[in-house]
Structure 1
Amino acid sequence: MVYVLGGWQSDFARNWDRQGMSIGDGFVDTVRNGLEATSLDAAEIESGHVGNFVGDLFARQGLLGGFFAYVDPALDGLPTARHEAACASGSVAVLAAAAEIEAGRYDLACVVGIELMRNVSGQTAAEHLAAAAYAGREFADAAFVWPRAFSDLAEEYDQRWGLKYEHLARIAEVNFGNARRNPNAQTRGWQFGPDSFTEDDTANPVVEGRTRKNDCGQITDGAAVVFLASPRKAAEYAARRGAPVESLARISGWGHRSAPIGYRDKLRMSEGASHVFPQVKRAIDDARARAGIGGVEAIDAVETHDCFAMTEYMAIDHLGLTAPGEAWKAIEAGDIEMGGRLPINPSGGLIGLGHPVGATGVRMLLDASRQVTGQAGDMQVENARRVQTLNIGGSTTTTVSFVVERAA
């Protein structure tokens, strides 16, 4: 059993480059704030992990574990590692830290997810992020690779089951609405007009194919940190705070699956399957099985990958909220909204909150832990006891899902 002692998230509306901050500055600031928020001492940390996708390209900086030593002198000598799995980098870092704790190597690990991405033009950013596609073999005719990839997914859904843009637009509208309640959301102050969530080419222009501007997750500078603990360390930490260990969040289940890097190869290999992305479904189901629960009815909320509205549309049926191809039913019924059957992305998700790629999986876990411990503030889902995350890298090349819950 691995416990989540808490953590911290940066304000995703900040532009680090304009503020003269490097990726190292963001790293140090995030971990220091995380230690303060959790009342942990740096000397207690025994292992450090970093989730980051493209620091080498955006910031010309690799070997990010070396920044732990600048947080506090006590962290000089800390064993560290960096993990890369595109947009799932943060979740893979969490998996590695959790495995160390479960193996008995360490009792307390610090996991940082971080990305600096707003220091280049939109076109250059798109080219850097294309590293998660099959280089030289797909989407060569696209100016923006990922809007194109998930436009193709929209086309695939349309061919199989039919798809109306109004349902994708509603996903985006809900996530932007949720972000207004999140004090760290990049878009919390954004304003929208009556045609912002329609097929109006002026108010909501096409980016690539079937993907429009307001369907897109936000390129963001930002970081998140969580502290993971063994049962022994968690009990000690809880006692120090005068609380039972059962009051803490814990990771009760995890799923981790990979598929071929090529988008079309995934579709070819899923021919005849009930779901477009069987490995996504397997990761979700693995997490639930390890948590000892059944279907979606055991989940109170979800933090899911919505790099585009179409990604969340796919996630809805893979999560089991509807049958394959019928996500529109949950959208029309209001099931995904706050107060609905299964609130999705109370944080605002990648569309509303923002998407510093390597930080997203860590941020999802932090938000899930806050939900189940009643610390989510204006984003709180009433009586949330169990939350599932779904973090995807590339065109679902890597998928990681966690089930986070509170014992009491």
Structure 2
Amino acid sequence: MASRVYLLGGYQTDFVDNWARSGLEIADGMRSTLLRGLAETNLAPADIEVAHIGNFGAELFCNQGHLGGLFAASDPAFAGIPASRHEAACASGSLALLAASADIEAGRYGLAAVLGVEQMRNVPGEQAAKLIGGPAMWNGHEYQEARYPWVQVFSDVADEYDRRYGLKQEHLSRIAQINFENARRNPNAQTRRWTFKQNSFRADDVDNPIVEGRTRKQDCGQITDGAAIVFLASAERAHEYARRLGIDLDVLPHIKGWGHRTAPITYAAKIKASEGQPYVFPHVRGAITDAFRRAGIAGVEQIDGIETHDCFTMTEYMAIDHFGITPPGQSWRAIETGDIEMRGRTPINPSGGLIGGGHPVGATGVRMALDCFKQVTGTAGEYQVDGAKTFATLNIGGSATTTVSLIVGR
């Protein structure tokens, strides 16, 4: 990083909530998250100099754009605040984080609010799947025959792994099981109270039916209403903040490294480009190693855990080898040895991830950063990874079209 960008903390909504059933709109979710975030971090509206909002589908689900204006309407003190909205499908929140970090590094502003938000449960599930099906891929050019396009995309990723290296469903099912188990410890997780049947994590067409292709019900992330906010600060503002709270500056984590890469939008183009290479998505591997390099760390052995994008179990399976936990194509080894479990060598998704925790699309990247903050400050509660000092994220949009990885540590 050119200069340190500190995380001061933030707030996440309860991903169980269905906003429409409670008579709430996306503006209500934004406002309550912002005000709760300020209270949680002992900040005042006047402290915030700039706002960045991550959101994918407000126009589609809520017939609402111009979310910067909703931010400014949250409190009279925000009238006139510079605010922007960022979209990159499921990586929208991470792009908002990168933009806010760049603002701070450039010296334009000293303290930024980054709010990710999505309302998706105000329409039936079938309609929600259609709304997110086309816009994040090349609409009209790929997966036009699929009932659930994104389910089919990552079924195809599974097929590609199977073709190159071999793949067993039992390993994907174990990823789902771990994430649901982790979610039980997270008081904000969407599935924390869910119960499962005997065959829910097996290839059982009743308890775990196929949704599309080879992807089964428990392989899928959740449709979620939710928001998350984090506050980023320059070294000067972080020092002032720490002095005011009577804490040591070293207690506050900072973004140690970042990677951001964008590939051609179609899935087929990505797979064609990676033919004959060890990684199915070389640009995803590149985003991760870019983050490692900027953080000054040699590899995955120097991080204490990962919050990764598991929109489907196959996405996490891909992340395991792309992070270097195993050699390419051998992610199954880390699953069988328990390396990715809470007490494992490299815990993945102690929050429950997208499968267990929930996936309000535009909020996910921000929620990941907030969970990294919690982990490295020892405030993650029942899903705390013991002794965590450095955590990584991997947030992807589309068929790994937009990829962002962050390293957060103290």
Q: TM-score, normalised by structure 2?
A: 0.98
The equivalent of 1:366 in structure 2 is: 370
Residue in 2 aligned with 1:320?
A: 324
Partners of 2:258 and 2:378 lie apart in 1 by 22
70-79 or 295-304, which deviates more: 70-79
Q: Alpha-carbon deviation of 1:71?
A: 2.1
Is residue 81 of structure 1 aligned with residue 84 of structure 2?
yes
**Distance (Å, rounded) in 2 between the aligned partners of 1:22 and 1:3:** 31
Percent identical among aligned pairs is 62
Alignment of 1:31-180 (within 5 A): 31-130=34-133, 131-180=135-184
Question: Alpha-carbon deviation of 1:387?
Answer: 0.2
Structure 2: which amino acid aligns with 1:245? Answer: L
Matches of 1:185 and 1:66, distance apart in 2: 29
Give how far 1:70 is off. 2.5
1:9 to 9, 12, 23: 12
Task: In structure 2, give the amino acid aligned to 1:240.
Answer: R
Q: CA deviation at 1:280?
A: 0.4
Separation in structure 1 between the aligned mates of residue 130 and residue 215 of structure 2, nearest angstrom: 17
Q: For residue 49 of structure 1, what is the amino acid of its counterpart? A: H
- The alpha-carbon deviation at position 393 of structure 1 amounts to 0.2
Q: Indicate the SS of the match to 2:207.
A: coil
Residues in 2 aligned to 1:113 and 1:11: alpha-carbon distance in whole angstroms: 14
Per mean C-alpha deviation after superposition, the further-off stretch among 255-264 and 131-140 is 131-140
Select which of 288, 293, 314 maps to 2:297.
293
Aligned partner of residue 22 in structure 2, secondary structure: coil
**Distance of 2:23 and 2:209 partners within structure 1:** 32
Amino acid at match of 1:190: W
1:207 is the counterpart of 2:211: yes
In 1: Cα distance, 2:86 partner to 2:322 partner: 26
Look up the match of 2:29.
26
> SS at the partner of 1:311?
helix
Question: What's 1:378 paired with?
Answer: 382
List per-residue Cα deviations over 1:268-312 (Å, max 9, x = no partner).
111122100011000000001000011110010000000000000
What is the CA distance between 1:400 and its match in structure 2? 0.2
CA deviations on 1:234-280 (whole Å, 9 max, x unpaired) are: 01101111111110011010000000100011001111221000110
SS state at 1:30 partner: helix
Give the TM-score of the pair, scaled to structure 1.
0.99
Structure 2 residue 228 is the aligned partner of structure 1 residue 224: yes
The answer to whether the aligner puts 1:192 opposite 2:196 as a matched pair is yes
Q: Distance in 1 between matches of 2:98 and 2:299?
A: 22
Mapped to 1, the partners of 2:299 and 2:71 lie a distance apart of 40
CA distance in structure 2 between the partners assigned to 1:67 and 1:372 by the alignment:
32
1:68–1:76 CA contact under 8 A, matched in 2: no
- Separation in structure 2 between the aligned mates of residue 332 and residue 194 of structure 1, nearest angstrom: 20
1:352 is aligned to 2:387: no
CA distance in 2, matches of 1:350, 1:63: 26
Q: Indicate whether 1:263 and 2:267 are aligned.
A: yes
What's the secondary structure of 1:132's corresponding residue?
coil
Structure 1: runs of 5+ lacking an equivalent: none
Distance in 1 of aligned mates of 2:136 and 2:277 = 25
- Residue deviations 1:147-173 (CA, integer Å, cap 9, x gap): 100000000000101000000000000
Alpha-carbon distance in structure 1 between the residues aligned to 2:9 and 2:229: 8
Q: May I ask how many residue pairs the two structures share in their alignment?
A: 406
The CA RMSD over aligned residues, in Å, is 0.6
- Deviation track 1:352-404 (CA, whole Å, cap 9, x = no partner) reads 00000000000000000110010100010000000000000000000000000
SS at match of 1:18: helix
Equivalent in 322, 336, 339 of residue 340 of structure 2 = 336
